[in-house]
Structure 1
Amino acid sequence: MKTQVAIIGGGPSGLLLGQLLSKQGISNIILERMTGEYVLGRIRAGILEQGFADLVREAGVSERMDAEGIVHEGFELAFNEQSTYIDVKNLTGGDTVLCYGQVEITADLMEARDAAELETYYEAKDVELHDVNTESPSATFTQNGETYRLECDYIAGCDGFHGVSRPTIPAELRTEHEKVYPFGWLGVLSETPPASKELIYSKSDRGFALVSMRSETRSRYYIQVPLTDNVEDWSDDAFWDELRKRLPPKAADNLVTGPSIEKSIAPLRSFVCEPMQYGRLFLVGDAAHIVPPTGAKGLNLAASDVATLYKIMTRVYKEGDASCVSQYSDIALRRVWNGERFSWWMTNMMHKFDASETSDSELGNVTFSRFMASELSYYTGSESGKKVIAEQYVGLPYEDLKP
């Protein structure tokens, strides 16, 4: 079989890229190793930058997002028994973010792809990429005992951190930067109204907590826990009790509890692979970079990768100009490193580090804690400091290709 762009991975990044390409008449086939039901069952991010929301609109899949998404004009930083509101809309000249769950985005994109009768191979096993540094790359895979070869012009590796795309780049040609944090996030999803209309990032002596939501009636909460903890260690009652202790008084009073419908612990890491391109293979999203979720950058950085690759493929096929292909990694990495820095910064400021867990091994715990407290006070104590946070939170503009 043949196509112009082979997309490895059928999560939101691969689906969004496929939908955008098809709108330009660029053929694409998606290979996804899991079932569609599994992909839809992954509970992930829910805050969309303006750029991501606009891409979904450009793909023609925004009807439900625009109808049901909740616009957030700011968020709250709580620490030292006080709260500071970051008025994102006013501080950035009108930019906002949209609360709409990744599961919902994925479902909408799947439905649109099915309606357009675009090819997707679920449960594609043993995927291997071939000749990606030539003009004739291909992918092989098995499905239901049959072996297939997909010939293509380009390959988009949207298959996540554990996928086959990144390892296809020879080890001697890629550099991987990684930091693993000494704690994780215990997250609970519940059919309860959120304790706040907008997100609250809360730092206390007991550790970090986050108030977020998926809708007016569905809440998503997180608390910082040691990596040694297991989900089974936390009953619903224990989670609600601990969360309440970490929240500012008003949010704690507004907290409505109920049975969890999903509960999991996610480790935190920062990761970047350079370059994000090898020949005609492009790494997109988690295949190339991971951020701690503090600051809501993971899915949004993947969207900016998609935007850059979409612009490149459109120029290649609509204008016959392939000279722009080499721009992908440099453009993508500039935004990735900015998002990585902001996520690292927010994580350091808002989390509790024990004596042996300081972010910088050359600093003592007390010194590090003082530095982070000073950072919080400085940036939340002036309009210029708040503006820096707001601009980073809504996301930097997408970069255009060079002529």
Structure 2
Amino acid sequence: MRTQVAIIGGGPSGLLLSQLLHKKGIDSVVLERRSRDYVLGRIRAGILETGFVGLMREAGVGERMDNESYVHDGTLISYGDEEFEINFKEHTGTSVIVYGQTEVTRDLYDACQQDEGRVLTEVSAVMPHDLKTDAPYVTFMKDGKVVRLDCDYVAGCDGFHGVSRQQIPEDVRREYEKTYPFGWLGILSETPPVHEELIYANSERGFALCSMRNENLSRYYVQCPLTDKPEDWSDERFWEELKQRIPAKHAANLITGPSIEKSIAPLRSFVCEPMRWGRLFLCGDAAHIVPPTGAKGLNTAASDIHYLYHGLVQFYEQKDTEGLDSYSEKALARIWKAERFSWWMTTLLHRFPDQTEFDLKIQRAELEFLRSNEAAQKVMAENYVGLPY
């Protein structure tokens, strides 16, 4: 087999890159080890920055997103029973939208699979080769046979545990990591959202987040110990804990119901440098992870795709490698800003096991400064809706 760009990983970033390249007449093949149904069964993020929304439209897959998504002009932040709003629209002129990652992936799969052979699912033993030469290739197993895919470039969109990042030699690769001493217990329920905007809650009992997917599908989270397991939390226990962490007036309006999904996710900050090795380019979780507090995981992957897509178009249309040569530098500059914002949101809103009384007073002062200072609100709003590419 032969293609121009081999894409390892059939999540939203790999599929988005393939669809954007397709619109420009650039061939690609996506290699995904799981089935389509498995990929679409993942429950993930749902807040999209303006830049991501623009990429979906440019890829020609924005119609359902535009019709079914929820526009959010701001968010509520609470501490105890105190709360205040950060108005994104007022401070930046733009908003974010709520549109689940599952729906993003579904739209991209539907578009990509119109071309037979562009997305190969249930492949195994994927391995890139000769990445420092002008003739890289990828081998994989499909239907019990070894297949060779020759290409010009390889995009590693295969996540934190994928094979792509490991191809960068250890004496070249630098990894930066911070782990957090708690996780998020999240549930999905077929209930109306408790509020029309998201609620980020700091309480004495720990962090909570009230989010949604649509008018009858809600997503809620509470901070929990890493030692907890989903089965430790009955639905009744979860709802009672959530009510104690959000302001009383919202707790009184909370409509509860059976959970249809329940999981615990650890929180981590991680960055790999560089994001390019020869003809290999890392994208998304293969290169970086952020705690979900700032809603940046899926959106940072989109910014990587923006830089790589434009670099590839520049090469194939103009025979100019400048965009590809500067990919790692441009992507990392934006990634580190997103890492900073996600770290800041996490430290602002969570309870840490080693916090002293002084630390708690500082956290409270930070929240009250954000509440009262327009400049601080503007900085938060600019980061939340997404810094420019």
The reply to whether TM is greater than 0.5 is yes
Counterpart residue number, 2:202: 203
Q: Counterpart of 2:30 in structure 1: which amino acid?
A: I
The 3-state SS of whatever aligns with 1:311 is: helix
Q: Which residue of 1 aligns with 2:297?
A: 298
Shift in Å at residue 372 of structure 1? 2.1
Query: 1:163-193 deviations in whole A, cap 9, x for unaligned?
Result: 0000011111010000110000000001100
Residue by residue, what CA displacement relative to the aligned partner does 1:297-333 show, whole Å, maximum 9, x if unpaired? 0000000000000000000001111233210000000
CA distance in 1, matches of 2:256, 2:370: 33
State the partner residue of 1:384: 375
Match of 1:105 in 2: 104
SS at match of 1:183: strand
Q: Which runs of 5+ in 2 are unaligned?
A: none
- Indicate whether 1:397 and 2:388 are aligned: yes
- Does residue 326 (structure 1) correspond to residue 299 (structure 2)? The answer is no
What is the 5 A alignment of 1:357-368? 358=355, 365-368=356-359
Letter in 1 for 2:37: E
Shift of 1:216: 0.8
- Superposed CA deviations along residues 331-389 of structure 1, whole A, max 9, x for unmatched, are 0001100000000000001001123xx5xxxxxx2333233222222222111111111
**Distance in 2 (alpha carbons) for counterparts of 1:172 and 1:39:** 34
1:118 Cα offset (Å): 5.1
- Secondary structure at the counterpart of residue 207 of structure 1: coil
| TM superposition score normalised by structure 2 | 0.99
> Any conservation in 1 of the 2:308–2:323 contact (CA below 8 Å)?
no
The 5 A counterparts of 1:256-275 are 256-275=255-274
SS for the counterpart of 1:173 is coil
The one-letter amino acid paired with 1:330 is E
Task: Tell me which residue corresponds to 1:81.
Answer: 81
Cα distance in 2 between the residues matched to 1:306 and 1:108 = 17
User: For the residues of structure 1 that align with 2:250 and 2:334, how far apart are their CA atoms?
Assistant: 34
The answer for the alignment partner of 1:312 in structure 2 is 311
The 1-side partners of 2:198 and 2:117 are apart by: 37
TM-score normalised to the size of structure 1?
0.95
Corresponding residue number in structure 2 for 1:58: 58
* Aligned match of 1:90: 90
1:375 equivalent among 366, 372, 386: 366
Q: Return the offset for 1:114.
A: 1.4
C-alpha distance in 2 between matches for 1:141 and 1:256: 48
Q: Is the 8 A contact 2:49 2:299 kept in 1?
A: yes
User: 1:81 Cα shift?
Assistant: 2.0
For the aligned residues, what is the CA RMSD? 0.9
> What secondary structure sits across from 2:335 in the alignment?
helix
2:337 alignment counterpart: 338
Q: Distance in 2 between matches of 1:120 and 1:218?
A: 30
* Preserved contact between residue 307 and residue 323 of structure 2 (Cα < 8 Å): no
Matched length: 389
* Partner Cα separation in structure 1 for residue 164 and residue 128 of structure 2: 7
SS in structure 2 at match of 1:25: coil
Q: Counterparts of 1:84-163 in structure 2 under 5 Å?
A: 84-92=84-92, 94-117=93-116, 119-163=118-162
Deviation string, structure 1 residues 1-55 (Cα, Å, up to 9, x no partner): 0100000000000000000000000000000011111111110000000000010
| 1:237-264: CA deviation from partner (whole Å, max 9, x where unpaired) | 1101101110112221221111110000
Tell me the distance in 2 between the aligned counterparts of 1:117 and 1:282: 25
Superposition map of 1:346-365 within 5 A: 346-355=345-354, 358=355, 365=356
1:195 is paired with a residue whose SS is coil
* One-letter amino acid matched to 1:263: K
- Separation in structure 2 between the aligned mates of residue 268 and residue 386 of structure 1, nearest angstrom: 25
Structure 1 counterpart of 2:158, one-letter code:
D
Quick one: which amino acid aligns to residue 344 of structure 2?
A: W
Alpha-carbon distance between aligned partners in 1 of 2:29 and 2:201, rounded to the nearest angstrom: 43
Aligned to 2:71: 71
Aligned residue for 2:21? 21
